Amino acid sequence: MNKKQTKWSERFSEPTKEVVKRFTGSVNFDKRLALVDIQGSLVHAEMLMIQKIILVKDYKAIEKGLNQIKREVTSERFEWSLDFEDVHLNIEKRLTDIIGDAGKKLHTGRSRNDQVATDMRLYLRDSIDSIINQINHLQKATITLAEEHVTTIMPGLTHLQVAQPISFAHHLLAYVEMLDRDKSRLFDARKRMNFLPLGAAALAGTSFPINRNFVAKKLGFDGIIENSMDAVSDRDFLIEFNSAAAVLMMHLSRWSEELIMWSSPFFNYIEISDSFCTGSSIMPQKKNPDVPELVRGKTGRVYGHLMSLLTLMKSQPLAYNKDNQEDKEPVFDVIDTLEDTLEIFPEMIAELKIFPKNMQAAAMKGYATATDLADYLVNKGLPFRESHGIVAKVVKQAVSKDCDISEFDLSELQKFSSVIDKDVYKYLTLEGSIQSRKHVGGTAFSAVKKAIAKVKIKLK
């Protein structure tokens, strides 16, 4: 028998082939769970001691050994081996090397099935907290930019056509709202996942007199998972996290698309800082918005991982199956993608150069105040549908004359409706249109200032 035996090798007549070790091993990627694995093991060992399942001296030895391993992992001195397959067996082997037979008692009353399920919850819980904090930073950067551009006028678009004039700050606050919903989804996912699986052992629980509630409280869980089979086989929490991550990336991808469009010479609303762009190897004039383009691309990557997890789980019978080893790499990559994206995005937003004159000039195209003229006619007593038809004719005439509707003389406008009077012009200006929308959620400068103040209080 190979000297480097695994924990179950006594059952087998032949050693595991090297190719099988490589195929089934997970230590190359699950070693990032090492610190939470040690965290869970320390509390598990303490519980075993309190329940008199292991001796106090064994617990003290385990505690000392695990803390030494923690230092080794943190300082990157820990030697990982594929011979021990995963993060759990590597740590257990090292613990036994350090403290002897006492290290072999740590695994009493648990299985790697409930151990890894606990590790993943601990790791993901910390990651969600970090991601939410990063979203807060992005919201703050966006609000700072919005405060500077409350009175900057730009065209609001539908179907990528000029629709109505809006405050640039109002546009930015739409993304702040989206990010708020993203945080809410992550909070919800965190709340549902924060229950302890440890104690379920392989699938049926354990015959040892363990205290699961003690472990749950000590590790910061809100309670325990009641059914042992569900505890070891559930991966809903990973799927739910990835789903929330996919929506978050979708929002950042939409935003990135707008940054790309706005920075093109066809719009020229903004300039993205050189530090977030690259040039061309053949065209010296090029300045490519690589960061937002990559955010768009990485969004598809996150979508793919969600489908991977859903497909992973769709045909699994209860309880634990080796398939579940494949849950980690997608989740780890999603976490890395989110954290990298959310690290760079606030800096990019903070360093944007804005061209208000170009935005306002664009808002003058496309008859952005046509709806305001229709509303004006309604306020004069005409039904909206009739007003809509009248304004459509006004716009048609303006198109043929290549002018804005605000450029018509009063006598020309009165040919379309006799109710039009000289007060109409204050409704046909961009600022007049914006300022008329003072309600909550509207784009009036006063409403936008109130919205910014409200969000700032919420973020505190």
Residues assigned a catalytic role: 159, 280
Handedness of CA 101, 106, 108, 113 (dihedral sign): negative
Who's near 67: CB < 8 A, 6+ residues apart? 42
Q: Kindly list the distances between the CA atom of residue 358 and the CA atoms of 96, 168, 171, 234, 364, in Å, as whole numbers in the listed order.
A: 69, 12, 16, 53, 10
Contact, 372 vs 443, CB < 8 A?
no
Tokens of 407: 């450029």
Contact, 429 vs 164, CB < 8 A?
no
Q: Under DSSP, is residue 224 helix (H, G, I), strand (E, B) or coil?
A: strand
Q: Under DSSP, is residue 80 helix (H, G, I), strand (E, B) or coil?
A: coil
For 137, phi then psi, to 5°, come to -65, -40
Instruction: Give the single-character DSSP code of 220.
Output: T
Q: Kindly list the distances between the CA atom of residue 183 and the CA atoms of 102, 146, 241, 367, in Å, as whole numbers in the listed order.
A: 44, 20, 11, 37
Tell me the residue type at 449: K
Contact, 334 vs 245, CB < 8 A?
yes
